[in-house]
A = this chain, B = another copy of it.
């Protein structure tokens, strides 16, 4: 009676019907990063479980969604698995997903300076601040621009993601501008709710917001 009452999971060879549920997607992408840091050549689902804290059945199911078969009774080939996840989600194996930091107050500047921030497949391409003095005075290996140029630079530098560390009261305003530029996702270090259209990702990472969530654990 209802179309698709079965899980709709097959990755058919012609590319249709390869829907993977959101929780699985997130785990898989995270797993890919982890596999990249691994020296072992083969890993079992149990080993991955130990490493991630996830249940081993869930890991097997996630991998099953990919539609590959490179593991039976020996564990999975780390390189093959990682490559397949990258292929499935369009993750570049070399670092080409550009992102920017908007708002160079204490937090934003710290993020800029933090050497570890460019890593894996992400590449910090720019910083923005509304205070033009600040973008001129701050020293950074990353190019800094006034927020005036936000739209132009996001286009020209092919920036896909933004880290938002502006004052709370400007958060929604900047978000709207980012959305209009076609940003794919925002890491929200402010402690406000952001409203974005469907299709734009938001992850709330502000200290208070996150602490708040944790109270309910």
Contact = CB atoms under 8 A, between A and B. Distances in A.
Contact of A187 (B97, B184, B214): B214
A142 B89 CA distance: 44
A216 B107 CA distance: 26
Given A53-B193, A53-B195, A216-B29, A205 B205 contact: yes
Copies of this protein in the assembly total: 2
Given A201-B217, A217-B185, A114 B119 contact: no
B116 A168 contact: yes
Interface in A14-64: 22, 25-26, 28-30, 33-34, 51-53
Interface in A101-119: 105-107, 109-111, 113-114, 116-117, 119
| Chain A facing B: main interface SS | helix
A9 to B, nearest CB: 16
Interface residues of A, number: 53
B117 A213 contact: no
A208 interface: yes
A216 B185 contact: no
Contact of A203 (B106, B107, B119, B210): B210
A163 B203 CA distance: 17
A25 B216 contact: yes
Interface in A190-217: 191, 193, 195, 201, 203, 205, 207-217
Interface string A110-135: 11011011011110000000000000
Which 8 pairs, one residue from A and one from B, show the smallest C-beta to C-beta distance?
Answer: A25-B216, A201-B217, A110-B110, A205-B205, A106-B110, A185-B214, A201-B214, A29-B216
Given A26-B216, A109-B110, 15 more contacts: A22-B216, A25-B217, A29-B213, A30-B213, A33-B212, A106-B109, A106-B114, A107-B110, A110-B110, A119-B208, A121-B215, A184-B214, A185-B215, A201-B217, A205-B205
